[in-house]
């Protein structure tokens, strides 16, 4: 692979990862927290309705996890395509 091809392949892999993570980001907040909140509110865990939980707590926990998954996967990609920092 030339440096240019390697750069392109790295960018493609990066875009794939980011799209997947943003899909989850969208589903937990806009999906579970807003669009389908009434349906999820019919389910309760502990004293919390599920839709309400996603809107006020759950989505935030998922956001944190998403960023750390991104950090970890990107570090792997950086090495795989040999574009990591010294």
Partner 1 sequence: MELQTWIYLAVGGTFLLYMGIAIWARASTTKDFYVAGGGVNPIANGMATAADWMSAASFISMAGLIAFLGYNASAYLMGWTGGYVLLALLLAPYLRKFGKFTVPEFIGDRFYSQTARMVAVLCLIVASITYVIGQMKGVGVAFGRFLEVEFETGVMVGMGIVFFYAVLGGMKGITYTQIAQYCVLIFAYTVPAIFISLQLTGNPLPQLGLGSTLSDGSGMAVLDKLDKIVTDLGFAKYTDPSGSKLNMFLLTASLMIGTAGLPHVIIRFFTVPKVSDARKSAGWALVFIAILYTTAPAVGAMARMNLMDTIQTGPVGDPTANLVAAERPQWMKNWEKTGLLKYEDKNGDGRIQYYNDKNPEFAAKAEAFGWAGNEMVKVDRDIMVLANPEIARLPNWVIALVAAGGLAAALSTAAGLLLAISSSISHDLLKGVFRPDISEKGELMAGRIAMAGAILVAGYLGMNPPGFAAQVVALAFGLAASSIFPALMMGIFSKRVNNVGAICGMLAGLLSTLIYIFIFKGWFFIPETNWLPNNADAWLLGIAPESFGAVGALINFTTAFLVSRVTAEPPEHIQALVESIRVPRGAGVASAH
The reply to whether 49 sits near partner 1 by the rule CB under 8 A is: yes
Distance between CA 13 and CA 7 in Å, rounded? 10
The reply to whether 83 sits near partner 1 by the rule CB under 8 A is: yes
The reply to whether 25 sits near partner 1 by the rule CB under 8 A is: yes
Question: H helices within 1-86, ranges in order?
Answer: 3-26, 37-41, 50-53, 59-80
Distance between CA 36 and CA 80 in Å, rounded? 39
The reply to whether 9 sits near partner 1 by the rule CB under 8 A is: no
Q: Say which residues have a Cβ less than 8 Å from residue 86's Cβ, sequence separation at least 6.
A: none
Query: Contacting partner 1 (CB under 8 A), which of 7, 16, 39, 76?
Result: 7
Q: Which residues pair with 24 in a beta bridge?
A: none
Binding site for partner 1 (CB under 8 A): 7, 10-11, 14, 18, 21-22, 25, 29-30, 33-35, 37-38, 41, 45-49, 52-53, 55-57, 59-61, 63-64, 66-68, 70-71, 74-75, 78, 83-86
């Amino acid at each position: 692979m030339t440096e240019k091809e390697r750069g392109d392949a790295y960018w493609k892999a990066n875009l794939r990862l980011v799209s997947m993570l943003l899909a989850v980001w969208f589903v937990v907040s806009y999906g579970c927290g807003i669009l389908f909140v009434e349906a999820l509110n019919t389910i309760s865990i502990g004293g919390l309705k599920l839709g309400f939980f996603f809107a006020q707590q759950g989505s935030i926990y998922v956001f944190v996890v998403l960023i750390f998954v991104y950090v970890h996967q990107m570090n792997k990609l950086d090495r795989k395509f040999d574009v990591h920092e010294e």
